[in-house]
Chain A
Amino acid sequence: MAQAALTIDGLSVDFAGFKAVNGVTMTVDDGELRVLLGANGAGKTTLMDLISGKTKSTDGRVYLHDTDITNWEEHKIARAGIGRKFQIPSVFKELTVRRNLEVASCRKPGVFANLRFGFGAEAERNVDEVLELIGLTEEQDRIAAYLSHGQTQWLELGLLITQNPKIILLDEPTAGMTQAETHKTSEIVNNLKGRHTIIVVEHDMAFVREIAERITVLHLGQVLAEGNVEQIENNPKVREAYLGSKGIS
């Protein structure tokens, strides 16, 4: 049996009486790709915020392997091994594509440890590989602000790949993408399967079908169902809550 990479135990957050996430318990295995599904306001992004430390939980625990990381500071959680991609693509806009990845390749977090020049041959090779993987080799000397929306999304994925965390949280990685871009994104994500544990929040069912193994459905801050694509598509509770009577379109 695979080991649990991330264990969430009764996690809740209370925003002045409104429980955006209410007693969520789930386990994600090492190397698994888990999709979080749910309508707007179901608590998907909030759950990611809680895992990555952006929002502090009011109840429950989060474990990364055996380490209790509940309510740590964001950069400490990141260093412990959780990387995150935001819904709105965020990259370092005034740096070149290559520079962006170099920043992410930096293994030492402190200021004084980084008072030195260059990143080392190994880091540069790694950056080259990631550039290849996200298809931005040709654009490596462009300033990130001039990239297209899709390219910016891939660059942010590249930052995560370079950072090389154990767990990758992806918040709507295909938002605003064309079909061709979505397809390429699923290729990149599929490429990461096995090497990283991945949790994806996504609405786009075509994309979900391309990548998903297991799906957890959230509804009003609670876990509604869990299973593979087929089970979820045929689950009457899920159909009722989200998909309408016609099923997944």
Chain B
Amino acid sequence: MPMKRRIDWAIYAAFVVLVMFLPLVMDAFWLNRVAKYLVFGMLGTAVALSWGYAGILNLGQGLFFGAGAYMLAMSLKLASTTSLQQGSDKPVPDFMLWNAEPGAPTELCCINKASFLWLPFQSQWFGVAMGLILPVVLATILGTIVFRKRISGVFVSIITLALVLLVRLVVIDSQPVTNGFNGLTDLGWFNIAGLEFDPYIVPTYYLVAVSLSLVLVGARLLIDTRAGLILQAVRDDQNRARYLGFDVPAYQTFFFAVSAAIAGFAGMLYVIVSEFASPTFMDLTFSITMVVWAAVGGRSSILGACIGAILINTISATVSETEGFAEAWKAIIGLIFVLVVLYLPRGLAGLAHDFIDRLLARKPAASPQPLRVSDASSQLAE
């Protein structure tokens, strides 16, 4: 159906254009807010890729988001002015000094037992690289174990859920290196060739907007490849795919890792626009919220899940700030979710697809299809 495909891409283009023109009509405050929502949109896309296309309901997507966020936040923490004012010629995070043992040298190498881990993060690009590598490595290890063992369905969800909580606990518990539940705050600005990405300036918005556009198009192209089609075949019937000769765990692991990379990327962008990283990124509620975004937007649509995330966040911001709803907004979001699950199991994207199908079906209906006579038995079968 090339026509439908063209419409699909036109909708993608329209979305990208809309996102690109927003700075013309919004002030810095709202632009920063929307940038955060676009980051959440990217997370929605990551969830759609693993849940909708690979059939893996990851209830711990926050793990990859958090991993990406912390990796970049470590670099930006070292780039902040406070880190440079701790009495050493090299940057040292302030929180390490607050808890340092008496007499410990004010050096990143040895202020506490694990502080040397921070050393390479003095390079911002090391942080950026790790923000992608760490989620991908984690996802590959996890995926290899889980999928080779043919664990599937709800058990994968439980494992991912347990894992994100475990890592959250470790991060909170490792106060000397992670600043515990306070997270990493008071960060420096991300910097590309001298351009500093103050979260409230237009270039920062564009950094996020362009990143999201590239991720959307990339993810969409990826599922249009043969591998993407085979992945959907694996989702529908693992065994059938296996007996056609496909190495099923390799497909699942690959796309699980891609989804993790997107989540890690989103985590880094979030750190740039919000200037902090915190263990709350790995809260259970946050990971589940992402799943809700994807469900509302449409889990089997890359763009749908993204729009779902943006829409829900915009609505919750608007509703929660409307007097009278200030108390009830969570109930309203919950109600929307229940209604969508009950009446739109394929989400808003499913609704849009049905609408397009109906429009397309109306046109050729003018020339009635020839009656089928060739295949009597297939009619018998119906």
A interface with B by C-beta (< 8 Å): 52, 74-75, 78-79, 83-84, 86, 90-95, 99-100, 102-104, 106, 109-112, 114-119, 135-136, 138-139, 141, 148-151, 156, 159, 163, 178, 180-181, 183-184
- Nearest-CB residue, chain B, relative to A81: B245
- Other A-B contacts than A90-B237, A92-B241, A111-B251, 14 sampled, CB-CB below 8 A, are A75-B242, A75-B247, A78-B242, A94-B236, A95-B229, A103-B241, A106-B226, A109-B245, A109-B246, A138-B372, A150-B378, A150-B380, A150-B381, A178-B380
Q: Is the CB of B224 within 8 A of A135?
A: no
Question: In B351-372, which residues have CB < 8 Å from any A CB?
Answer: 372
B314 at the interface (CB under 8 A from A): no
B239's partner among A86, A95, A112, A148 (CB-CB below 8 A) is: A86
Q: Which residues of B contact A110 (CB under 8 A)?
A: 247, 250
10 closest pairs, A vs B, by CB?
A78-B245, A114-B227, A150-B381, A114-B226, A92-B236, A79-B245, A148-B381, A92-B233, A103-B233, A90-B240
Chain A, residue nearest B254 (CB): A111
How many residues of B are counted as interface, with CB atoms below 8 angstroms from the partner's CB atoms? 35
- Neighbouring A residues of B377 by C-beta, 8 Å: 135, 150, 180-181, 183-184
Cβ contacts under 8 Å, A104 to chain B: 244
Report how far A122 CA is from B339 CA in the complex, Å.
47
Q: Is the pair B375, A117 in contact by a Cβ cutoff of 8 Å?
A: no
Separation of A16 and B126 alpha carbons in the complex (Å): 55
Distance (whole angstroms) from the CB of A206 to the closest CB of chain B: 16
Q: A-contacting residues of B (Cβ < 8 Å)?
A: 1, 222, 224-227, 229-230, 232-233, 235-237, 239-248, 250-251, 254, 372, 374-378, 380-382
Say yes or no: A138 contacts B239, CB within 8 Å: no
The one of B225, B235, B242 in contact with A117, judged by C-beta atoms closer than 8 angstroms, is B225
Q: Which residue of A lies closest to B55 (CB)?
A: A94
B372 touches A93 (CB 8 A): no
Residue in chain B with minimal CB distance to A82? B243
| Distance in angstroms between the alpha carbons of A94 and B248 in the assembled complex | 17
- Is the beta-carbon distance between B240 and A116 smaller than 8 angstroms? no
Collect the chain A residues with CB atoms within 8 Å of residue B254's CB: 111
The answer to whether B225 touches A74 (Cβ under 8 A) is no
Q: Please list 17 pairs of residues, one from A and one from B, whose beta carbons are closer than 8 Å in the complex, sorted by A's number.
A: A78-B243, A93-B237, A94-B236, A103-B233, A103-B244, A110-B250, A115-B225, A117-B224, A119-B226, A135-B375, A148-B382, A150-B377, A151-B381, A178-B380, A180-B381, A183-B377, A184-B377
Closest to B236 in A: A92
A115 touches B227 (CB 8 A): yes
Which residue of B is nearest A100, CB measured? B233
Alpha-carbon distance A138/B237, docked complex (angstroms): 24
| Interface pair B246/A116, CB less than 8 Å apart | no
Which residue of A86, A92, A181 has the most chain B CB atoms within 10 A of its CB atom?
Answer: A92
Of the candidates B222, B247, B374, the one whose C-beta lies within 8 Å of that of A109 is B247
Residues of A within 8 A of B240 (CB): 86, 90-92, 156, 159
Query: Quick check: A151 and B378 within 8 Å, CB to CB?
Result: yes
CA distance A78 to B229 in the complex (A): 19
Once the chains bind, are B245 and A92 in contact (CB under 8 Å)?
no
Smallest CB-CB separation from B382: which chain A residue?
A: A148
Chain A neighbourhood of B229, CB < 8 A: 95, 99, 102-103
